[in-house]
Structure 1
């Protein structure tokens, strides 16, 4: 692969103050507080009434300059990320104005849709939240910008200080984990359908091939055999499995003698494209556009069960403890458990109001299991397991198609606009500091 160095770094935002800042206004003679300001919707500049609470009795009164009232800056990580910073440093969430003036009351859990698209004209005076998330146990560290199309895959090799992201813009970007800057771009000449890391290897699924790249030796291989887009990749029982657009699941084994991957098997059964794969307990689970999940024995590579409870595309499958979780465009998350006979049955169905795109799981800062679920309403919902109590929400400009768990409580999301975001679970000490 050709690696192009780049200095492009999109983690910059224009910082604008709200309202006029270079005008002189006459001192007010009216000491009444503006009730429109209290409601968060005063649009008079200048206003004849105070935009501040009255002083406590016994303290001298003063008239607050208009410029001080109208030039507050909303301290929000989504709109003013500032210069590149280490991912381990948590940015504070939205809070009081920078001059100690209490901002208007916000509608709880109501995100401003105009803020999400970058064109809210109310700024701090908006009645709705200007935030990329709702939740008090995690925080946004930094956005990473550079991809021109939807981010379809994220990989973080163990022991590496680099993050890899793949996109339909036909490129893989390499990010430095200390600075957040893009340090290289790999152009593959085809849309990235998926990407995983295993040991020193990065595997990338593109149309009609799987690219294999050894990050230690710079070995560059191309695995042929797929017909159509490669949608999913997973490693199990010392084999690499690929879910293909034509419904096949192809397998390769690494040959140390030839330093190459040799074809090992072709698993047939799905009628349409295989879009999700996961390995657990010597089983391979495949989710397909044909609305089914197939269970394969990793020793014999035979299909031992077909799950048909979903009524639309099975977008993602996830192993958790002794359970299998699956999500679908049919707006459900299903939890499967093995019966005494060894077959899987649905033990719980969680319903959503929108189609579901991706699942990911990780422990929070207190080592409690949390499920991340992305929907086609541009929201990622976080749930405690096994209760499915909601822990928070992450909002995006477009659908989140890729999620990845990292070390130290880090996790990553990539959306349809090409933007990645880096998140971190907060410890009790960090939460108390905020």
Structure 2
């Protein structure tokens, strides 16, 4: 697990410059229409399979490389969003399982394989694999947690991977060897965990723990009542979604080397389980089935979205869109109208409740949506087409996902297992 050359994005601040060399004869640098829809099958294609970089994205980093702070998973913006309505959502869906071995039942994992005692071996008509797909592979499995993995973090400049669990511990993994090099008891179930720069923030019952990996600062932020389920950083504030329905905010004080309480945002009737920041907006998903939109400048709620009929488990920003998922078995795509309000413009239906969304880029720098469902599977979709790229299986449901350097990404499930995956530069041929 190399610590340099991050190929991908990181939570809401996932950023990457254009990492694909553009052939000078590629149709005057035109982007492929079918690639954008997620279904180009021309090899080679005369058009680009990457978005044209903006003038800001063309700026170079001081070391001569591509600037790492350029947006890829952009923040949804009210400004001008209505001028570019989404016309490709859901195009190209279907096609069945990707990369499934011939003769195998579609996406049906062998229960005896799960238990480790299938006697049919390769002759079994059900899958003996933790995934189907030909553009990524399973590298290794990291075991040690006794309960569900609820957070994964890779602090900036660190060669360590951190995983938090409901077993009340944070495990530290060496990125070179994959070995666990430390176990930290945090005194309560880890409800969520994020990293921002050198900081790691951990949501536990009645508190947020803040660790600085560079200075070894260890802070305890009081104020939450009940479990802290979600954390996000935006506009120089740390936000925490709590079990009692509040969103608490802290501001870092360099003078006192501490986090000072800044605000308490009230409006949700039940626990706030997901937070994301985009374009001076904070979006919160709650067990009360709603999404609230907050103005980061005033910290006032400016809109409440009520289209979901069950718990809003996860919210995610991509380009000018907001994506949300729910136990009502849907993923909704929201876009700003001319009035500035968000409206659901597309609904993707799943067979099972949707637990979590995570966005990243594949090896060809195409946007991929990871969608975890409560049937213990994770679907991988191209955006905006929702064409299925693959599927990951687990013994129990996956709640934690994170992207790493060099094409790596991670999933943590309810058994406590942390899996390391890798995007393939060259896709494997179909069986």
The alignment's TM-score, normalised by the length of structure 1, stands at 0.74
Q: Deviations over 1:152-204 (max 9, x none)?
A: 11111122211110110000001111111101011011000000001111000
Instruction: Identify which of 304, 323, 339 aligns with 2:321.
Output: 323
Aligned residue in 1 for 2:387: 389
Instruction: Identify which of 204, 207, 210 aligns with 1:206.
Output: 204
> How far has the Cα of 1:409 moved from its partner?
1.4
> How far has the Cα of 1:233 moved from its partner?
0.3
Instruction: Identify which of 333, 356, 374 aligns with 1:335.
Output: 333
Instruction: Identify which of 244, 248, 251 aligns with 2:249.
Output: 251
Aligned-residue CA RMSD (Å)? 1.7
Residues 331-370 of structure 1: pairs in structure 2 closer than 5 A: 331-370=329-368
Question: What is the distance in 2 between the residues matched to 1:165 and 1:330?
Answer: 29
Does structure 1 residue 431 correspond to structure 2 residue 428?
Answer: yes
Higher-Rg structure is 1
Aligned residue in 1 for 2:194: 196
Aligned residue in 2 for 1:376: 374
In 2 relative to 1, CA 433–427 (structure 1 residues): closer, same or farther, beyond 3 Å?
Answer: farther
CA contact (8 A) 1:357 1:374 kept: yes
Aligned length: 332
> How far has the Cα of 1:394 moved from its partner?
0.1
Q: Deviations over 1:360-418 (max 9, x none)?
A: 00111101101000000000000000000111100000000111111221110000100
Question: What is the distance in 2 between the residues matched to 1:386 and 1:267?
Answer: 33
Instruction: Identify which of 130, 150, 153 aligns with 1:152.
Output: 150
Question: What is the distance in 2 between the residues matched to 1:240 and 1:296?
Answer: 14
- SS of the aligned residue for 2:112 comes to helix
Residues 162-173 of structure 1: pairs in structure 2 closer than 5 A: 162-173=160-171
- SS of the aligned residue for 1:211 comes to strand
- SS of the aligned residue for 2:122 comes to helix
Aligned residue in 1 for 2:180: 182
CA contact (8 A) 2:281 2:294 kept: yes
> How far has the Cα of 1:107 moved from its partner?
4.1
Question: Structure 1 segments of 4 or more deviating over 6 A?
Answer: none
Aligned residue in 2 for 1:223: 221
Residues 299-310 of structure 1: pairs in structure 2 closer than 5 A: 299-310=297-308
In 2 relative to 1, CA 104–296 (structure 1 residues): closer, same or farther, beyond 3 Å?
Answer: closer
Question: What is the distance in 1 between the residues matched to 2:190 and 2:102?
Answer: 44
Q: Deviations over 1:116-162 (max 9, x none)?
A: 23222222332222100000000000000000001111111122211
Question: What is the distance in 1 between the residues matched to 2:263 and 2:116?
Answer: 49
CA contact (8 A) 1:116 1:132 kept: no
CA contact (8 A) 1:276 1:286 kept: yes
Q: Deviations over 1:409-434 (max 9, x none)?
A: 11100001000000011012x63799
CA contact (8 A) 2:329 2:353 kept: yes
Question: What is the distance in 2 between the residues matched to 1:237 and 1:189?
Answer: 30
CA contact (8 A) 2:155 2:213 kept: no
Question: What is the distance in 2 between the residues matched to 1:323 and 1:203?
Answer: 27
- SS of the aligned residue for 1:116 comes to helix
Question: What is the distance in 1 between the residues matched to 2:338 and 2:156?
Answer: 37
- SS of the aligned residue for 2:406 comes to coil
Question: What is the distance in 2 between the residues matched to 1:104 and 1:268?
Answer: 54
Question: What is the distance in 1 between the residues matched to 2:404 and 2:322?
Answer: 21
CA contact (8 A) 2:164 2:170 kept: yes
- SS of the aligned residue for 1:408 comes to helix
Instruction: Identify which of 112, 132, 136 aligns with 1:134.
Output: 132
Unaligned runs of 5+ in 1: 1-94, 96-102
Q: Deviations over 1:8-67 (max 9, x none)?
A: xxxxxxxxxxxxxxxxxxxxxxxxxxxxxxxxxxxxxxxxxxxxxxxxxxxxxxxxxxxx
Question: What is the distance in 2 between the residues matched to 1:213 and 1:259?
Answer: 12
Question: What is the distance in 2 between the residues matched to 1:351 and 1:290?
Answer: 20
- SS of the aligned residue for 1:431 comes to coil
